[in-house]
């Protein structure tokens, strides 16, 4: 069998312009050729790998199994993409190991069959994947803590708050107007503080339910979700004479009740913080490459750019 060498200028040039490390092996599993990227990746000098068994590029514990796989692949050589095999490991000359992706394809040179392996060092990608997995676990733990806190809020906080609120309202009904101005003001402070606290607890529970509702995602027609939201606000919209304009909205995969709540909150805020006569609200959507961008615009006071990040945080 003729062995291709680096002197084969046309083949050599082709191997060098490919942005991956390339290793060419013959039917015996011997390395016939590598490009500079492969030499650098595995820590060898140019030409040093030629004639060596390809298993030299693998950790010792994987070599025997690889010989069996290599023989099977050579008998039934088919292109194999990098995403078809997971958890591959390469070995450098200094015995250090690193994760790799490999694609394989059959190659014929001077009537002889070879296997071309494209090798990609995925150390950075694996590190990023591990980091993302850690963040996902941290997020899941945080969501679990939030759900637990919501349970405490709903059971342990609401009951004493209900008692305080009940007695504050009782004082307001029974003694307001019969005491001096300071006492009346103190009672108002108590009642209003209880209401604010109850609203904060309700907001916390609603916030926790966004990630813990447990409902299956489904196709949601945003036109229908918007219609439900506007129906829920019909009395307020009629009272203020709201002009609502909408364009055709898409169907997305989501939870319908959350989409209704989202539109309802946005419409309610557009009405609440709007002194124009009449309030005008426009809901539209446009496709932007791989996503749908929905916009709710109104002729109200808007949001100061300094506070636009804060509106996505709880209780802001």
Out of 121, 150, 180, a domain closes at 121
pLDDT score for 6: 46
- Closest C-alpha among 55, 25, 22 to residue 40: 22
pLDDT of residue 267: 92
CATH number at residue 27: 3.30.450.20
Number of domains within the chain: 3
User: Would you call the peptide bond into 278 cis, given omega within 30 degrees of 0 as the criterion?
Assistant: yes
**Spatial CA neighbour of 116 closest among 24, 239, 245:** 24
CATH number of the domain residue 152 falls in: 1.10.287
Question: Which is it for strands 243-246 and 280-288: parallel, antiparallel or unpaired?
Answer: parallel
| pLDDT at residue number 10 | 62
For residues 295 and 236, membership in a common domain is answered with: yes
* 237 in a structural domain: yes
Query: What is the H or E stretch that residue 74 is in?
Result: helix 60-75
Sheet of 291-298: strand order equals: 243-246, 280-288, 291-298
Domain assignment of residue 4, yes or no = no
Position 1 in a domain:
no
Residues 202 and 221 in one domain: no
Cα–Cα distance for residue pair 93/106, rounded to 1 Å = 26
Q: Tell whether 127 is covered by a domain.
A: yes
CB 69 within 8 A of CB 58: no
Expressed as residue numbers, the domain containing 172 is 123-212
Residue pLDDT tens, the chain, 316 long: 455 554 455 667 777 878 889 999 998 999 998 999 999 999 999 999 999 999 999 999 999 988 888 888 887 767 777 555 556 899 999 999 999 999 888 888 777 888 889 999 999 988 998 999 999 898 888 877 777 777 666 667 777 888 888 888 888 888 877 878 888 888 888 888 888 888 777 777 766 666 555 567 889 999 999 999 999 888 889 999 999 999 999 999 988 888 988 899 899 889 988 888 899 999 999 888 788 899 999 998 888 788 777 776 655 5
Closest by CA position to 20, among listed 92, 103, 123, 120: 120
Strand 31-34 relative to strand 21-25, pairing? antiparallel
Structure token pair of residue 298: 């109104």
- Quick one: 105 and 181 in the same domain? no
Question: Rounded CA gap, 111 and 82, in Å?
Answer: 27
Confirm if 4 and 32 have CB atoms less than 8 A apart: yes
| 21 assigned to some structural domain | yes
């Amino acid at each position: 069998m003729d062995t291709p060498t680096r002197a084969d200028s046309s083949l050599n040039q082709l191997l060098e312009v490919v942005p991956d490390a390339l290793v060419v092996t013959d039917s015996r599993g011997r390395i016939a050729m590598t490009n500079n990227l492969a030499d650098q990746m595995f820590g060898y000098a140019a030409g040093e790998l030629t004639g060596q068994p390809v298993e030299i590029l693998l950790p010792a514990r994987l070599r025997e199994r690889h010989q069996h796989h290599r023989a099977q692949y050579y008998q039934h050589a088919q292109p194999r993409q990098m995403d078809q095999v997971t958890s591959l490991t390469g070995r450098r000359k200094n015995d250090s190991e690193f994760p790799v992706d490999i694609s394989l394809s059959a190659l014929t040179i001077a009537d002889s069959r070879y296997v071309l392996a494209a090798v990609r060092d995925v150390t950075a990608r694996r590190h990023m994947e591990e980091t993302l997995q850690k963040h996902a676990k941290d997020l899941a733990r945080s969501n679990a803590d939030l759900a637990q806190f919501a349970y405490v809020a709903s059971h342990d906080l609401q009951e004493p708050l209900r008692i305080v609120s009940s007695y504050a309202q009782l004082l307001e009904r029974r003694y307001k107007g019969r005491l001096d101005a300071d006492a009346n003001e103190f009672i108002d402070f108590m009642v209003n503080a209880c209401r604010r606290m109850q609203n904060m607890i309700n907001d916390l529970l609603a916030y926790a339910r966004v990630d813990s509702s447990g409902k299956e995602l489904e196709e949601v027609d945003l036109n229908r979700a918007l219609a439900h939201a506007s129906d829920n606000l019909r009395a307020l919209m009629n009272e203020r004479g709201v002009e609502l304009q909408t364009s055709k909205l898409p169907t997305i995969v989501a939870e319908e009740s959350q989409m209704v709540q989202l539109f309802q909150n946005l419409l309610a805020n557009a009405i609440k913080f709007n002194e124009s006569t009449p309030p005008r609200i426009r809901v539209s959507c446009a496709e932007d490459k791989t996503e749908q961008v929905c916009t709710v615009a109104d002729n109200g006071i808007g949001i100061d750019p300094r506070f636009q990040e804060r509106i996505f945080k709880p209780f802001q």
